[in-house]
A and B are shown apart, each in its own frame.
Chain A
Amino acid sequence: MTDQTPAIELKDISKAFGPVQANKDISIRVMPGTIHGIIGENGAGKSTLMSILYGFYRADSGEVFINGKRTEIPDSQAAIRAGIGMVFQHFKLVQNFTVLENVVLGAEDGRLLRPSLAKARRELKALAEEYELNIDPDARIEDIGVGMQQRVEILKALYRQADILILDEPTGVLTPAEADHLFRILRGLRDQGKTIILITHKLREIMESTDTVSVMRRGEMTATVKTAETSPPELAELMVGRKVLLQVEKPPATPGKTILEVEDLTVVDSKGVERLRGIGLEIRAGEILGVAGVAGNGQSELLEVLGGYRKAKGRIRLNGKEIDLSGSKSNAGTRRKRGIAHVPEDRHHEGLILDFAAWENVAFGYHDKPEFNKGIFMDNAAIKADAAAKMERFDVRPPNPNLAAKNFSGGNQQKIVVAREIERNPDLLLIGQPTRGVDIGAIEFIHEQIVALRDAGKAVLLVSVELDEIMSLSDRIAVMFDGQIMGERLPSETDERELGLLMAGITDTDKPHSEAEIEANLAKKRASAAKEA
């Protein structure tokens, strides 16, 4: 312990939402000029704690000290005054405003805009030079990529003279190269004396970029350690409360006959933009094909076409038999009957009906099966019994089929969807972002189920933006960029750098590439991708 004054000190912070204790007696000291990581599972209370620090919520009890001075933070304005800036996981930017307007918003100098904008333009230029935060001040947010948008968020904080910067899950939407760039920026900021708090659930980021790390579990701070003195397995254990397998254990694949053949698949969306441009791939029985890529490069469309709720041109054969891609019978129901199960990327909008009970959700898509029906009526008792059994096998907690889907945690919601699809014993499982917003314990479980399905001789198409997940689960990896497959690799013969280049649309991966080149290539594509979002 040094005798330096901490930049931030929290003492005994508690916060409850109804009966749920989100934060319990949390104390933490963050030294100035350091990068401090906060790691924990979903729902561990990390974001709640930071929201208290940023004045979004008020703590029930406890004290906040900024640079040794006791500070009340009743609202965001107070946090900004105290020198705290926050980069949220979901950016708080106005899409059709320019970068400059977004930076100025809420920090204008007077009633008229022009002087404020002119001043901000000068200051942005200075900040850009100081911290490698180059950006076109007149670009509209909707026209720039997520990496750039994140820089705008950082600039917003710096423009408000923030000395303490909180970043909430900042790399979820970035390519590896962009994430590297971000961390370089953060290190630069730290070296200038800024204090940075990094909230993440990715152990690797903690290990690579932080000086100290605090671990949270179920609303409590379980440990604060120097990053150099800990290890990923130790952190994982602190997070979950038990030993966790970080690596998926899977025997080598034994691919059998071809299950899925996709040829020349093309999708044009309602605005006339080509989302898929001649996709071709093949998956065999007993094999997991991982599709990597930055979000918005056509992976979602691929899943939607295969899952039956988006029309397309091209050919798809399942077990050698052609599937209709554009007719009136091309829908999710007919796909399911053919043996394609689908765990959609967005479980809240596509995987579940949140207001419906778990048992109803477990039956969806299969509700017309004879075992679920008695004549023209649904056999609710049978459906409930079936749901209860599946929920037990998948260790859904609480194992109560009458509870509405929205009342389960993210991991348990995902287990409900996965149980519904996998238990139907499909020939082909489509699974998108299987562990997005899912805690480590549940990730482990879901990964095991996917591998088990593969070992039972089924084909799996895995789409994920998490490279770690792709690397550890896939038997083969296809990388998508701008609606095309840039290449296929074997996990044993590739690395993150190579995949990262492919994800940025660069195929000659043997040559060295500058970051500027990667960014230029991404920017081209991002302009249209950002519009869509």
Chain B
Amino acid sequence: MDFLTLLQVLDTTIRLATPLLLACLAGLFSERAGIFDIGLEGKMLASAFLTAAVAAASGSVLIGTLAGIGAALALSGVHGLASITFRGNQLISGVAINFLAAGLTVVVAQSWFGQGGRTPQLSGNARFETIDLPLAAEMRDIPILGPIYAELISGHTLLVYVGMLAVPLTWWVLFRTRFGLRLRAVGENPAAVDTAGVSVVGLRFAAVAICGLLTGLAGAYLSTGLQAGFVKDMTAGRGYIALAALIFAKWRPWYALGACLLFGFLQAIALRPDVIEGTLGFEVGVQLLDALPYILTVVILAGFVGRAIPPRAGGEPYVKER
């Protein structure tokens, strides 16, 4: 495998890791606050659809993205209402959201566009354009660093950079701000937060809202950055993979970046069986390559990668007790 091929694979890795990363950080905020969110998948899907639909109608990807975020926020609101206000079961609420999104997106897409549950192909301003960072063209000729900068770092869409910047931002918010301290506390022991005179409900809704915002971005990226339009079930389990990455990352932002890049890498090499064959010297079934991220997910969820301690109050509605 030559250097340029490697860069291409890594470039694809970054693009494929971005929706995972945004969803993973979304889950991180929610679960750190004690709200398990199995509905990442559904929220991404809803956002992917509405972003594509509104972008197609308005011709503006930014308006589309706002609509997508709105869709994800609305579903987050449902999840918050069910699990925080009414103290329902968080898994059931999440699963319901996934079903709702899977069905509704296709039905509405068919009703609006009549293209078999797709949205029209997006182009121009209805998609996120790639951004060439300053000096990318000029630096291309510098050995090693030049191509890395020009191929790998430059030339992504806006949301890729947003995703990458969200990692240090998440870390900073969680560990350097008052809000972060309280958010982490409410996922560990909401009674401590409550008796300290801070609203448990308020904090958890804030966390769920951030989760909605980030899944909204993840979904928007899927249908307008990674691809050019919405197709049925286009999340393809990314919400669950993001959850697996979250566990793998032990609910930490920087680890989450690493975990998502790993999953992204597995998805990237699945697209290049020729590279695998060239590197390993024998042919690996495409099916196996395609299945790799999911196999890793199962392995991680089965707990083969060391003990991950979830937030202690995760999944439990808070009931005032003495």
Q: Does B125 contact A (CB under 8 A)?
A: no
Q: Does B279 contact A (CB under 8 A)?
A: no
Pair A113/B180 contact, Cβ less than 8 Å = yes
Contact with B along A111-144 (1 / 0, CB 8 A): 1111010000000000000000000000000000
A interface residues, how many (CB within 8 angstroms): 36
Residues of B within 8 A of A168 (CB): 322
Nearest-neighbor residue (CB-CB) of B180 within chain A: A113
Pair B178/A101 contact, Cβ less than 8 Å = no
Residue among A76, A101, A106, A107 with the highest chain B CB neighbour number at 10 A: A106
Residues of A within 8 A of B178 (CB): 108, 110-113, 116
**Cβ-Cβ contact count across A and B, 8 Å cutoff:** 79
Measured CA separation A95–B179 after assembly (Å): 18
Pair A95/B320 contact, Cβ less than 8 Å = no
Q: Does B58 contact A (CB under 8 A)?
A: no
* Given A95-B189, A114-B176; A104-B181 close (CB under 8 Å): yes
Q: Does B195 contact A (CB under 8 A)?
A: yes
Pair A105/B176 contact, Cβ less than 8 Å = no
Measured CA separation A80–B197 after assembly (Å): 8
Pair A56/B192 contact, Cβ less than 8 Å = no
Pair A94/B185 contact, Cβ less than 8 Å = yes
B interface residues, how many (CB within 8 angstroms): 23
What's the least CB distance linking B191 to chain A, in Å? 5
* Given A56-B320, A113-B176; A93-B192 close (CB under 8 Å): yes
With beta carbons under 8 angstroms apart, the residue of A77, A95, A108, A113 that contacts B188 is A95
Residues of B within 8 A of A101 (CB): 181
Residues of B within 8 A of A97 (CB): 184-185, 188
Q: Does B108 contact A (CB under 8 A)?
A: no
Pair B192/A105 contact, Cβ less than 8 Å = yes
Residues of A within 8 A of B189 (CB): 92-95
* Given A111-B179, A112-B177; A106-B188 close (CB under 8 Å): no
Residues of A within 8 A of B320 (CB): 56
Measured CA separation A95–B309 after assembly (Å): 12
Nearest-neighbor residue (CB-CB) of A102 within chain B: B192
Measured CA separation A212–B198 after assembly (Å): 33
Since A108-B178, A113-B181 are in contact, a sample of 6 more A-B pairs with Cβ atoms closer than 8 Å, ordered by chain A residue number, is: A95-B312, A104-B181, A105-B192, A105-B196, A107-B196, A113-B176
Nearest 9 interchain pairs by C-beta: A106-B196, A77-B197, A92-B192, A108-B178, A76-B197, A92-B195, A94-B188, A106-B198, A92-B191
- 5 example contacts (A-B, Cβ-Cβ < 8 A) are as follows A75-B197, A79-B197, A92-B195, A96-B188, A105-B185
Residues of B within 8 A of A (CB): 175-182, 184-185, 188-189, 191-198, 312, 320, 322
